Amino acid sequence: MKRSNSCALCEGKLVQEKDLIIKNGKTFTFDIEKCTKCGHSFSTLEESERIRKEINPSLLMRIKRLFSKRFEKLDIINGRVL
């Protein structure tokens, strides 16, 4: 599907931008297209779904992340603490 380079509301020019979403001290980047004329922003469904999964993961994904984390070891013998 070919995307147009004009706003669906006012026919202004769309420019690629990155929006920041901050939740619980974590920052997520969100790719959007913003109209230079009216300021309305547009995003793709895939990008919205990617952000939704990062911000509010399912219970299964939370359990999977809990067991897949690698634990860092303290290297006290060499004088380094990670």
Domains, the chain, with CATH or none: 1-82 (3.10.20)
pLDDT digits (tens, 9 = 90+) for 14-42: 999 998 888 888 888 889 999 988 888 88
Whether the full predicted model's pTM is greater than 0.75, yes or no, is: no
C-alpha distances (whole Å) from 8 to each of 15, 32, 41 are 13, 14, 10
Q: Quick one: pLDDT at residue 75?
A: 53
Chain centroid to CA 3? 21
pLDDT digits (tens, 9 = 90+) for 31-79: 999 998 888 888 889 998 998 888 888 888 888 877 776 555 555 555 5
Q: Quick one: pLDDT at residue 2?
A: 47
Contact between residue 41 and residue 32 where contact means Cβ atoms under 8 Å apart? yes
Instruction: Give alpha helix (H) positions in the chain.
Output: 45-55, 59-68
